[in-house]
């Protein structure tokens, strides 16, 4: 035992637990894409291998430029980090200190209740509505003079519903302008609901808005670790100064750039996932499962379905249990069919079929 004087908040943080795995098991538990990125992206990574004796570009200039063009903002409005998880911690630490509060929806992404105490602030989770969407009224009411940031997760992990642009716009308009509003759009590429689109245009009028994005989901690059934030240049400067220097590897930068350039391949992969989601979710509901609207590459089966986790494991499928239910990532057609078949057997055995 060391005699180090750890911060009490650090001692109560959850310790890393690797997710369940088995040698040949198929993971449909982490909302990853079931297939690797396009050959153009893999080639770009391979080419970059010849330069790994060098540090990457500290400023990620080319990627920030490309992202700026994609979103119609300046390169000085973009910063990149080792996944949007790193950006989240940096953005929060730009405004948090002991005695401050961060409001976020719950149940939502498990990093939020870890990131908030990590940066010394107090977590203020606000319960979702029964349909699994954000309770924006309660979230607005939860903002106090000590609140320095609010996180919106749209689409929300693990429940699935997304906020429309108008819903986010009116929340931002109504919130104090000295509160950072972080909009986590990790899964927005999979959203098809009318009115759901990126909150980036809000930044012009509301420099307290920070949009977080990632290459881990639609771009199928979870393993190389690259995400980004879009915000006002001053806010980006503050976040950037808190990110680990040279954090994003040259391989990740090359992969992200190549993936942006191969937008058609990304769109094709997203379209396939959305089509599979639209095939599988209604079939599961038909079996009697309670699944909130999902605008993402996963769905949540609610209620007492915990037994599904073991039933899946017996056929080599790994799904993700939560207190609220079981979350399943949309995989390949074959993986989805396998899950559907386990879910049908389980429904019959447990008597949840209608």
Ligand X SMILES: Cc1ncc(COP(=O)(O)O)c(C=O)c1O
List 29, 77, 85, 93, residue binding ligand X (CB under 6 A): 85
Q: Of 58-66, 78-86, 275-283, 287-295, which segment contacts ligand X by CB under 6 A?
A: 78-86
Q: Does 48 bind ligand X (CB under 6 A)?
A: no
Rounded to the nearest whole angstrom, what is the least distance from the CB of residue 3 to ligand X in the complex? 34
Tell whether omega for the bond before 306 is within 30 degrees of 0, i.e. cis.
no
Rg for the chain (alpha carbons), in Å?
Answer: 20
243 and 81 in contact (C-beta within 8 Å)? yes
Tokens, residue 335: 């993986």
C-alpha distance from residue 295 to each of 93, 163, 172 (Å):
30, 10, 22
Q: Closer CB to ligand X, residue 117 or residue 160?
A: 160
Rounded to the nearest whole angstrom, what is the least distance from the CB of residue 27 to ligand X in the complex? 13
List 77, 84, 101, 250, residue binding ligand X (CB under 6 A): 84
List 31, 297, 335, 336, residue binding ligand X (CB under 6 A): 31
List 48, 184, 232, 276, residue binding ligand X (CB under 6 A): 184
Long-range contacts of 14-21 (CB under 8 A, 24+ apart): 14/114, 19/318, 19/320, 20/313, 20/318, 21/318
Question: Beta strand 320-322 with 325-329: parallel, antiparallel or unpaired?
Answer: antiparallel
Q: Does 186 bind ligand X (CB under 6 A)?
A: yes
Q: Build a one-symbol-per-residue string for 278-317: x at contacts with ligand X by CB under 6 A, - elsewhere.
A: ----------------------------------------
144 and 114 in contact (C-beta within 8 Å)? no
> Binding to ligand X (CB under 6 A): which residues in 200-219?
214, 216
Q: Does 114 bind ligand X (CB under 6 A)?
A: no
Sheet holding 209-214, edge to edge: 78-81, 227-230, 209-214, 180-184, 147-153, 101-106, 122-127
Rounded to the nearest whole angstrom, what is the least distance from the CB of residue 111 to ligand X in the complex? 7
Q: Closer CB to ligand X, residue 153 or residue 312?
A: 153
Q: Does 153 bind ligand X (CB under 6 A)?
A: yes
**Cα distance between residue 285 and residue 278, in whole Å:** 11
Q: Does 37 bind ligand X (CB under 6 A)?
A: no
228 and 71 in contact (C-beta within 8 Å)? no
List 106, 109, 190, 289, residue binding ligand X (CB under 6 A): 109
Q: How many CA atoms lie within 13 A of 336 on its CB side?
A: 23
Chain contacts with ligand X (rule: CB under 6 A): 31, 83-85, 109, 153, 157, 184, 186, 214, 216, 222, 227
């Amino acid at each position: 035992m060391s005699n180090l004087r750890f911060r009490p908040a650090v001692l109560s943080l959850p310790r890393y637990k690797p997710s369940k795995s088995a040698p040949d098991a198929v993971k449909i538990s982490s909302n990853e894409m079931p297939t690797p990125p396009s050959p153009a992206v893999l080639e770009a990574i391979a080419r970059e291998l010849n330069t790994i004796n060098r540090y990457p570009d500290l400023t990620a200039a080319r990627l920030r430029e490309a992202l700026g063009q994609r979103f119609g903002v300046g390169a000085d409005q973009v910063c990149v980090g080792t996944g949007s998880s790193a950006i989240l911690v940096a953005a929060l630490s730009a405004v948090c200190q002991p005695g401050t509060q961060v409001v976020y929806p719950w149940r939502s992404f498990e990093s939020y209740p870890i990131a908030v105490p990590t940066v010394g602030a107090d977590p203020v989770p606000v319960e979702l509505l029964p349909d699994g969407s954000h309770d924006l009224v309660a979230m607005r009411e939860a903002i106090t003079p000590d609140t320095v940031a609010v996180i919106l997760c749209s689409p929300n992990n693990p429940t699935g519903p997304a906020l429309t642009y108008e819903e986010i716009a009116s929340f931002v308009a109504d919130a104090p302008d000295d509160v950072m509003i972080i909009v986590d759009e990790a899964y927005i590429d999979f959203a098809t609901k009318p009115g759901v689109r990126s909150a980036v245009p809000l930044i012009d009028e509301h420099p307290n808005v920070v949009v977080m994005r990632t290459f881990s989901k639609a771009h199928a690059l979870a393993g190389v670790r690259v995400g980004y934030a879009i915000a006002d240049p001053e806010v980006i400067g503050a976040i950037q100064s808190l990110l680990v220097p040279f954090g994003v590897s040259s391989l990740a930068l090359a992969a992200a750039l190549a993936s942006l350039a191969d937008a058609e391949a990304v769109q094709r992969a997203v379209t396939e996932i959305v089509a599979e989601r639209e095939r599988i979710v209604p079939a599961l509901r038909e079996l009697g499962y309670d699944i909130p609207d999902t605008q993402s590459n996963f769905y949540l089966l609610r209620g007492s379905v915990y037994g599904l986790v073991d039933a899946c494991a017996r056929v080599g499928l790994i799904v993700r249990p939560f207190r609220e239910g079981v979350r399943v990532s949309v995989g390949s057609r074959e993986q989805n069919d396998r899950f559907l078949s386990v879910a049908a057997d389980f429904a019959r055995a447990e008597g949840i079929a209608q």
